């Protein structure tokens, strides 16, 4: 039996040695010798278990799901070590390449992967501190990985978040849970969040939030017609929108001055993701010794949990502010208040952090042999009637903005509704233009623009 680990935004399968289950089936090297065929890259079960039991970051091993026994038959066996990739040092892997002065940049990891793929082929492995990655850079191979997902698809666990929740005796939440624990929560939440009729019930409230956002843009524009801190304004809008869905109550982010609770939540979420980023990649010293970054991270996470607890309690206790979603969790699904809080905090954080643009699969999308003129904005290439012929697998793999399969973004319907409503209201009111240098992407847990997005909003008359 082999096991597969999750797929990250950079088409990496973050892995333990167990990731080989996928690699063994989909190995298609570009620039390495013929002996390294995928069929050759198979690790025997006993070798696998030896590897996993010796793994210094054993928690990753629990993040696995299994390919069932009817998977493609295995042919030959070669150790995982045969997967090409930068060699790195024991324990820290290639971490030193990122830490040294003028070295590789974490926030440009997607560029590093692009270069690595040119050097090592369509499937390569890299260990960066505690993170093991297997990176796939070919849509056809990637689609096979997608199709190999079972009932409980595994996604990378954000170890610092999991560690924090464990320390505080909390559930892992939807984003970090795996296996049956994940499935149970997912089934409960899907009934409310992925059902179109449920989400449509909130279109009027979303419309009011969008109206307030447009008013906010109008008042926040400077003499150049730009909105300083546009990202922060969007951040506020997403929080207000998801808060409206979860609590059926306005949190108060969009006035000239956010309410204290909105302000505090926004500050703490920002700090949470800022401190999460280094914790994800550094050697996890925090697990044995609370480093400064860890203490800050804990501080932000504690504050977010307190706000979540306050909002959930308020919703449960005050009938006037009671929300259908919270009531459904408490009464129909018999979830304990602490479980509800953990889930709500997950949804609030996922909702605000995934907002401005998550460019998954960066390397593939910038391959001109797959996407002609990859740097050009040619939306018509995605239209059914487009003249540009695109391989159906390449096309479907490139439409993964919401992820895929049973673990696809659970906020998709809400986010689509929010975006359609707010965009139509913005465009109805303003003409948008951009007159500055091109934006570049950087990673900050998600992929974000590297500088303020100074869009000019010109009111239509």
Half-sphere exposure of 275 (CA within 13 A, CB side): 21
For ligand HEM, give the closer residue by CB, 42 or 276: 276
147 to 176: interface string for ligand HEM, x by CB under 6 A: --------x------------------xx-
For ligand HEM, give the closer residue by CB, 77 or 359: 359
Give, in degrees to the nearest 5, the angle at Cα 141 between 140 and 142.
90
Q: What is the per-residue burial (b if ≥16 Cβ within 10 Å, else e) of 205-219? A: bbeebbebbbebbee
Q: Is 20 helix (H, G, I), strand (E, B) or coil?
A: helix
Q: Which of 324, 333, 401, 426 binds ligand HEM (CB under 6 A)?
A: 401
Q: Which stretch binds ligand HEM (CB under 6 A): 25-33, 330-338, 397-405, 421-429?
A: 397-405
Least CB distance to ligand HEM at residue 41 (A)? 24
User: Alpha carbon 27 to chain centroid distance?
Assistant: 25
For ligand HEM, give the closer residue by CB, 23 or 174: 174
Q: Which stretch binds ligand HEM (CB under 6 A): 51-59, 60-68, 352-360, 385-393?
A: 352-360
Integer CA distances (angstroms), 410 to 60, 154, 354, 403, 406, in order: 23, 15, 12, 10, 9
User: Known binder of ligand: residue 409?
Assistant: yes
For ligand HEM, give the closer residue by CB, 78 or 239: 239
Half-sphere exposure of 404 (CA within 13 A, CB side): 21
271 to 310: interface string for ligand HEM, x by CB under 6 A: ----------------------------------------
User: Alpha carbon 116 to chain centroid distance?
Assistant: 22
For ligand HEM, give the closer residue by CB, 178 or 293: 178
268 binds ligand HEM (CB under 6 A): no
Residue 226 phi/psi, 5-degree rounding, is -100, 160
408 binds ligand HEM (CB under 6 A): yes
Least CB distance to ligand HEM at residue 333 (A)? 16
Place of tokens 């992820």: 403
- Site for ligand HEM (CB under 6 A): how many residues? 23
Least CB distance to ligand HEM at residue 406 (A)? 8
404 binds ligand HEM (CB under 6 A): yes
252, 258 Cβ separation under 8 angstroms: yes
**Window 204-263: residues binding ligand HEM (CB under 6 A):** 242
Least CB distance to ligand HEM at residue 50 (A)? 30
186 binds ligand HEM (CB under 6 A): yes
Structure-block tokens of residue 251: 């949190």
371, 246 Cβ separation under 8 angstroms: no
Q: Compute the radius of gyration of the chain from its Cα atoms.
A: 23
Cβ neighbors of 220 (< 8 A, separation 6 or more) are 227, 228, 229, 233
Instruction: State whether the Cα torsion 300-179-397-123 is positive or negative.
Output: positive
Numbered residues of the known binding site for heme:
409
Can you give the binding site for ligand HEM, defined by CB under 6 A? Answer: 155, 174-175, 186, 242, 346-347, 350-351, 354-355, 358, 401-404, 407-411, 414-415
Numbered residues of the known binding site:
409
């Amino acid at each position: 039996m082999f096991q597969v680990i999750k797929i990250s935004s950079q088409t990496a399968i973050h892995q333990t040695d167990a990731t080989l289950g996928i690699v063994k089936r989909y190995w298609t090297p570009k620039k390495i010798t013929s002996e390294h065929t995928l069929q050759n890259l198979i690790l025997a079960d006993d070798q696998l278990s030896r590897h996993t039991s010796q793994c210094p970051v054993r928690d990753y091993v629990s993040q696995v799901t299994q390919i069932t026994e009817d998977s493609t038959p295995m042919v030959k066996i070669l150790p995982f070590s045969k997967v090409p990739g930068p060699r790195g040092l024991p324990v820290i892997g290639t971490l030193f390449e990122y830490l040294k002065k003028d070295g590789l940049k974490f926030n440009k990891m997607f560029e590093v992967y692009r270069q690595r793929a040119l050097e090592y082929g369509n499937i390569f492995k890299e260990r960066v501190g505690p993170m093991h990655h297997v990176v796939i850079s070919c849509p056809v191979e990637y689609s096979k990985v997608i199709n190999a997902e079972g009932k409980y698809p595994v996604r990378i666990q954000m170890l610092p978040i999991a560690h924090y929740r464990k320390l505080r005796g909390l559930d892992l939440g939807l984003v970090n849970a795996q296996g049956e624990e994940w499935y149970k929560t997912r089934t409960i939440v899907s009934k409310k969040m992925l059902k179109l009729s449920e989400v449509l019930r909130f279109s009027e409230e979303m419309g009011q939030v969008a109206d307030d956002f447009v008013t906010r843009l109008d008042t926040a524009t400077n003499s150049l017609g730009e909105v300083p801190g546009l990202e922060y304004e969007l951040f506020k809008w997403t929080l207000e929108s998801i808060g409206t869905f979860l609590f059926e109550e306005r949190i108060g982010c969009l006035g000239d001055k956010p309410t204290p609770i909105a302000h505090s939540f926004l500050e703490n979420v920002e700090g949470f993701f800022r401190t999460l980023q280094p914790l994800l990649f550094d050697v996890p010293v925090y697990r044995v010794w609370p480093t400064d970054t860890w203490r800050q991270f804990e501080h932000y996470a504690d504050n977010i949990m307190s706000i979540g607890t306050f909002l959930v309690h308020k919703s449960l206790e005050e009938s006037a502010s009671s929300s259908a979603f919270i009531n459904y969790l408490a009464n129909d699904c018999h979830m304990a208040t602490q479980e509800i809080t953990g889930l709500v905090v997950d949804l609030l954080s996922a909702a605000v952090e995934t907002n401005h643009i998550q460019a998954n699969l960066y390397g593939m999308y910038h391959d001109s042999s797959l996407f002609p003129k990859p740097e050009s904005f040619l939306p018509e290439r995605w239209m059914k009637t487009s003249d540009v012929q695109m391989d159906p697998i390449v096309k479907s793999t490139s439409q993964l903005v919401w992820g895929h399969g049973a673990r696809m973004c659970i906020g998709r319907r809400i986010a689509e509704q929010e975006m359609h409503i707010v965009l139509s209201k913005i465009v109805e009111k303003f003409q948008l233009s951009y007159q500055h240098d091109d934006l570049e992407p950087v990673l900050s847990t998600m992929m974000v623009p590297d500088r303020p997005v100074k869009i000019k909003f010109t009111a239509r008359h």
